[in-house]
Structure 1
Amino acid sequence: MWVAVLMVSFLVIYCTQWFYRWRTPGAKGNGVLPPGSMGLPFLGETLSLLIPSYSLDLHPFVRKRIQRYGPIFRTSFIGRRVVVSADPEINSYLFSQEGKLVELWYLDTFNKLLSLEGENRITGPGLIHKYMRSSLRNHLSPEALKEKLPQLVAWIDKTLLHWCTKPSVEIKHAVSAMVLEFTARFLCGYDVDKAPVDISEKIATLTKGLTSLPLNIPGTAFHKCLKDQEKVITMITNMLKERRAKEAEEEKEEDFLDQAIKDLRTENYLTEDFIVRLLYGFLFASFESIGTVMCLGFKLLAEHPEVMEELAAEHEAILKNRADSDSSLTWEDYKSLTFTPHVVSEILRLTNNPPGLLRRAIKDIEIKGYTIPADWTIMVVNSTLHLDPVMYKDPLAFNPWRWKDLDSYTVAKNFTPFGGGSRQCAGAEYSKVVLATFLHVVVSKYRWTIIKGGRIARRPLIAFGDGIHIRFSQK
């Protein structure tokens, strides 16, 4: 009997000490951790982060802890110790230390779905990102976009004509699919009408499973993600193999896949699997981001007819100045736009889709009197910049005219919808061109009405309840 009592007592003492160490971790040496709470064992404060917020403001999880602890605090999510920074100076410093003090880090689910956990093993630190930026730059540069603009306009117009035949469309998925299919077409020759897999349908399931637990068990969201991912990966792999089989017959460099095939001959670290997953990752990024931004854009434009009126006036002026009213938007037309870029910037500012950009501390980081221990995750919350009332008066108001008075230097320091530092999104310019072109086609040739939905919910990514359903018709 006394042995059982002794064992129970030992277990209680051990669990109590373990729980205390979890709730009050210490930094090495004389370092001081940022203030905060680690929450429950394993779960941490994950549940608080996932509670939906029905506002464009910062998620309450971040807002309340900034008020309680200041702009830098500690927490934990599903067993991972995290330092959250909403301090612009700290964030700017961390971005400048890529590859020195910090490195890119992904959620476990994202890692496994895109097989990014093998980056260091396959290519060495950060090389996957360097190759992605350099290889995509040729296809997403202003020169390349200028050449592709007529095709983009035609693709958007064709899609909108199709939407006009439907009672309504759920706009986030519809825009996401439109952009994804166009992106896949010009990067790897994907043809939605002939392909064995509907890439937009399969990647849509990936976005639903990103916040799920990475449990590969039949019936779970993660398991469904893996199955759909496998089908897309197989399709892209077959496309790559077919191109390589024809490589000897025709020497060309028309799209990303052609360029990657040539690079496979000269870059020893590249493999077919590397190229396929890199392309898969970029297609996913193009699917999720622009659809979310444009979905919020429709909601904001519907609520602010004065913005819609000035936007329409700018594009009607372009039509009137054309010798041929049926001609397509030109690059010169695009570069002449003034109010439209303000509208796009204002929508991007208010979207603030990711709750934070994730990094991992490579070594102990001493900053502003605190220590961020090595191997801890860092969540860089740049969205606080976009809602700063000093920089943006009445920050939750949709006011595109505010951008007329902001100089380029101020904007560069306080507007980071595509990230910052060497990890800034390689598709930033592409996204802006797509958004502006889409708005041009919509306001020039179509009418639209929101007929259902529109409630915003951050959980923590921005969502729209049952979606925003829009009816389109030709003018």
Structure 2
Amino acid sequence: MPETCKRVLNDDDAFKPGWPTSTVELIGKKSFIGIPYEEHKRLRRLTSAPVNGHEALFIYIPYIEDIVISTLDKWSKMGKIEFLTQLRKLTFRIIMYIFLSSESEEVMEALEREYTTLNYGVRAMAINVPGFAYYKALKARKNLVAAFQSVVNERRSQRKTNKSTKKKDMLDALIDVKDEKGETLDDEEIIDIMLMYLNAGHESSGHTTMWATIFLQQHPEFLEKAKAEQERIVKKRPPTQKGLTLKDIREMEYLSKVIDETLRLITFSLMVFREAKTDVKISGYTIPKGWKVLAWFRSIHLDPEIYPNPKEFDPSRWDDYNAKAGTFLPFGAGSRLCPGNDLAKLEISIFLHHFLLNYQLGRLNPESKIRYLPHTRPHDNCLAVIKKNLPSRP
């Protein structure tokens, strides 16, 4: 299975994107899932560095940390909250700031609601009839495209008249970027890229953060080990240092294992569709030209031959362990690897750092049933109380 999956994901001469037409209609024909290899390669090269480059990540840390600190304090005073719902709002606020420099609560809540509707439609039957999830999702996409088009128009107008006083954000980078021929991105490309990034950039981070927090709460020995690591990092800081640095985050070795184990066990991106461009022989079988192939990541992550006791949460399984190619695919693989994977892990690490040091999760329904669509989550969205730790006595 891993070898087959590896071939399907990495052989761009034999396979091309094979997502259902209905999915492409929702995510966008110019998004990464809807374009051929050469165009995907071009757009990925042009857009990934501003989101995943070291310089970009360094710039984002202070903002993410400030928002996490203030948000956790606010949650601790709110009483009962849907932990997942609030995390999704937090991660959406972060990605909106990175892409659009926007901090408008009203705009963010409106767009986040549209994304929720969109995601239900992505996993639903493509029935374009009023009342069905896919019909509602198409309307949500239309609303999102209109909102982003308005933002792009306004930004282009500001740049022509030099009226913009805001810092340069990802939208500016998308407008400015040129390929080797000097060609820029058109509005449809910019909007579909933004729509895709803003969706993936808050859904995966929010859900993974929730599950990592739940798993640590369920395993006190792992929680204490992760917390002790964060305490050591703070203790080692120079007296003049305020806040986290990229160096600090790179030293979170155990926390990185916690995040990887969460990504393995939950597998937020369950699968990818590919289509054979020619007859392809894999493991003694021939996949005819035009056939669609489904690479199912979760089946790999829960394979007991690869991961002993695969349904157990155990960060220590990553001690001195390097996953073989095709056996750990939380963000996809090959040329279609999610370009925002480092940013996602950065957000999760910063949140867990401050949560572990200062807060506890008090779930109100710890036995809540699990829902699997559009993403794996507790039925009650992790209804909980966030408790602030009491200051330790001198």
Same fold (TM over 0.5): yes
User: Contact 1:90–1:367 (CA<8 Å) still a contact in 2?
Assistant: yes
Q: Which residue does 1:429 correspond to in 2?
A: 342
Post-superposition CA distance 1:230-285 (Å, at most 9, x none): 22222211111111112234499822211222247975573212211111011111
Deviation readout 1:96-152 (Å, 9 max, x if unpaired): 311x1111122333211123289899x765514530443132232122111211111
Name the counterpart of 1:247: 159
2:95 and 2:280 map into 1 onto residues whose CA distance is: 39
Q: Distance in 1 between matches of 2:155 and 2:30?
A: 28
Question: 1:325, CA displacement in angstroms?
Answer: 9.4
CA shift, 1:310, in A, is 1.1
Q: 2:64 aligns with which of 138, 141, 152?
A: 152
Shift of 1:387: 2.5
Question: Which of 436, 439, 450 lines up with 2:352 in the alignment?
Answer: 439
Q: 1:375 aligns to what?
A: 290
- 1:214 is matched with 126
Measured in 2, the distance between the counterparts of 1:196 and 1:387 equals 36
Paired residue total: 385
Q: CA offsets per residue over residues 174-233 of structure 1, 9 Å max, x none?
A: 212211221121112222336386222221111122222223332222222222222222
Tell me: CA distance 1:119–1:460, structure 2 relative to 1, closer, same or farther (3 Å): closer
Structure 2 residue corresponding to 1:180, chosen from 92, 96, 119: 92
- Residue 5 (structure 2) aligned to one of 82, 86, 91: 91
Candidates 275, 278, 292, aligned match of 2:193: 278
Q: Distance in 2 between matches of 1:129 and 1:228?
A: 28
CA distance in 1, matches of 2:377, 2:286: 35
The 1:95–1:144 alpha-carbon spacing in structure 2 relative to 1, beyond 3 Å, is: same
Q: Using a 3 Å threshold, how does the CA distance of structure 1 residues 169 and 129 change in structure 2: closer, same or farther? A: farther
For the Cα contact (< 8 Å) 2:269–2:330, is it kept in 1?
Answer: no
The one-letter code sitting in structure 2 at the alignment partner of 1:439 is L
The corresponding residue for 1:110 is 23
Matched position secondary structure for 1:359: strand
CA–CA distance in structure 2, aligned partners of residues 92 and 151 of structure 1: 37
Return 5+ residue gaps in structure 2 as ranges: 390-394
Q: Summarize the Cα distance change of 1:136–1:230 in structure 2 as closer, same or farther, 3 Å threshold.
A: same
Alpha-carbon separation, structure 1, partners of 2:62 and 2:115 = 26
Contact kept in structure 2, 1:139 and 1:255, CA below 8 Å: no
Q: Which runs of 5+ in 1 are unaligned?
A: 1-86
Match of 1:139 among 51, 72, 80: 51
CA distance in 2, matches of 1:328, 1:452: 34
Moved more, 257-266 or 151-160: 257-266
Q: Does 1:230 align with 2:145?
A: no
Residues 159 and 267 (structure 1 numbering): CA distance in 2 closer, same or farther, change over 3 Å?
Answer: farther
Which has the higher mean CA deviation after the structures are superposed, 343-352 or 323-332? 323-332
Residue 198 in structure 1 maps to residue 113 in structure 2: no
TM-score normalised by length of structure 2: 0.88
In the other structure, the counterpart of 1:354 is 269
Corresponding residue SS for 2:365: strand
User: Bigger CA drift: 149-158 or 362-371?
Assistant: 362-371
Contact 2:31 2:196 in 1 (8 A): no
Letter in 2 for 1:233: V
**Residues 109, 205 of structure 1: alpha-carbon distance in 2 compared, 3 angstrom cutoff:** same
Partner Cα separation in structure 2 for residue 183 and residue 172 of structure 1:
16
Conservation of the 8 A alpha-carbon contact between 2:2 and 2:326: no
Farther off after superposition, 164-173 or 308-317? 164-173
Decide whether the 8 Å contact of 2:121 with 2:134 is kept in 1.
yes
Conserved? CA contact 1:109–1:211, under 8 Å: no
Provide the C-alpha distance between the structure 1 equivalents of 2:371 and 2:307, rounded to a whole number of angstroms. Answer: 22
Structure 2 CA distance for aligned equivalents of residues 232 and 165 of structure 1: 33
- Could you say what the CA RMSD is over the residues aligned between the two structures, in angstroms? 2.8
| Aligned counterpart for 1:302 among listed residues 178, 194, 217 | 217
Of residues 155-164 and 322-331 in structure 1, the stretch that sits farther from structure 2 once superposed is: 322-331
Instruction: Report the counterpart of residue 474 of structure 1 in structure 2.
Output: 388
**1:304-323 superposed matches below 5 A:** 304-323=219-238
Distance in structure 1 (CA, Å) of the matches to 2:41 and 2:97: 22
The equivalent residue for 2:207 is 292
1-structure distance, mates of 2:387, 2:36: 52
CA, structure 1 residues 360+461, in 2 after alignment: closer, same or farther (shift >3 Å)? farther
Q: Does 1:389 align with 2:307?
A: no
Contact 1:452 1:469 in 2 (8 A): yes
Write out per-residue CA displacement over residues 260-318 of structure 1, whole angstroms, 9 at most, x where no aligned residue.
22247975573212211111011111122122222222221121111111111111222
| 1:179/1:243 CA distance change after superposition, 3 Å | same
| Alpha-carbon distance between aligned partners in 2 of 1:460 and 1:322, rounded to the nearest angstrom | 41
Distance 1:332 1:457, change over 3 A: same
| Cα separation, 1, equivalents of 2:240 and 2:364 | 31
How is 1:8-19 mapped onto 2 (pairs within 5 angstroms)?
A: none
**How has the CA–CA distance of structure 1 residues 152 and 119 changed in structure 2, closer, same or farther, with 3 Å as cutoff?**
closer
Deviations 1:335-359 (A, max 9, x none): 1122111111111111123332211
How far did 1:363 drift?
Answer: 1.8
Which of 224, 228, 250 does residue 335 from structure 1 map onto?
250
Q: SS at 1:137's partner residue?
A: helix
Distance change >3 Å, CA 381–CA 212, structure 1 → 2: closer
1:350 maps to amino acid: L
SS of residue matched to 1:391: coil
Q: 1:212 to 1:391 in 2, by over 3 A?
A: closer
Divergent runs of 4+, >4 A: 117-121, 123-126, 264-269, 323-326
